[in-house]
Amino acid sequence: MRLRRPAGNRIPHLQPNWEGNRVTLTVLEPEGLYPDTIPEQEILGPGVRIIRGNAKSSIAELPDSMLAEVDGLMTLRMWVPAEQIARFPKLKVIVRMGVGYDRVDRAAAAARGITVCNLPDYGTQEVAEFAVLLALSLRRGLILYHDTQRGPDPAPWAVMQSPLHRRQEVQTFGILGLGRIGSAAALRAKAFGYRVVFYDPNQPNGWDRALGIQRVRSMDELLAQSDVLSIHCPLTRATRGLIGERELRLLPKNAVVVNTARGPILDIDAVERCLRDGHLAGAGLDVIPEEPPVEPIPALLRAYRDSEDWLRGRLVITPHIAFHTPEAWQDIRIKSIETMRDVLVEGRRTNVIPPESE
């Protein structure tokens, strides 16, 4: 009896190799993230083998003999450059186990006919909450009082005057990029009383009406009215360096900028200059241009680590952890393997990133 193939919008070159009721495919998880492969094997089915590597920092640590067998690659932290893609003679699908896909050389993958997928629907609540939390903790003085009440010489037990402190209802919360996380952040900021505006030329008309927020026609228009700017766009060729000193100085004086997306979207040296001369009141950064930072580290990070007085209460830097909850980690595991099953085994287009995308 022939097994009926699943219906759906298929990727032509990914039709599975059916042998009776089995599919003969191999999936590699190169980092050894989990103690077993039981959930992965259950989702993929008996005809798909999943193997784990023990790479610490790079796929280059794994032997050619292992990579020669691989049809599907799942990676969380590992970069997938062209020279590593060339080591996979059978590779058909790469699943980046996260929202951002800048770690994968998509041009090299497309040249080989390799499909690239991401994981757009994990950690949505966590990152959105963290972005709004960064804004609130700066704008309501939580960070300022935390910083100034510590140590042997605390500030006076009294209110402190700071341009950071504003009531939410008199501020505009500007969102750059209204995808899943940006939309979730918009709803949370709106619930706290902010007026919420966004700029995202890729969202269809009516998205603003569905969320009860306001759309603007240009990024400059967004910047000019954002007391808080929260960045939620992906890192692409078009968005790398998108927010530089010119853009930051379009923000109202004493604005706060928050970045939980990708570090290279925002010029961290421009942030340092705008904080130092007082144009920006504060900043909350979960991401920086190079992670983890290496010497010479950015001047802003150096001043932050040295607890320089001019930055006290005005800056929060966290190590790309906005997504982190046990629930999000479970989503990463399950949703990644479900995406691999859909695309590699069943030939669907779940979470496929078009090669022509920026």
Query: Which of the residues are catalytic?
Result: 262, 291, 320
Helices (H), the chain: 38-44, 64-67, 82-85, 106-111, 124-139, 142-148, 180-191, 207-211, 219-225, 245-248, 268-276, 299-305, 326-340
Is the CA virtual torsion 93, 239, 171, 286 positive or negative?
A: positive
Question: How many angstroms separate the CA atoms of 313 and 168, rounded?
Answer: 18
Distance between alpha carbon 72 and the CA centroid of its chain, in Å? 22
Q: What stretch of H or E contains 316?
A: strand 315-317
Residue 185 half-sphere exposure toward CB, CA atoms < 13 A: 35
Cα(100)–Cα(118) distance, rounded to whole angstroms? Answer: 7
* CA dihedral for 155, 228, 194, 191, sign (positive or negative): negative
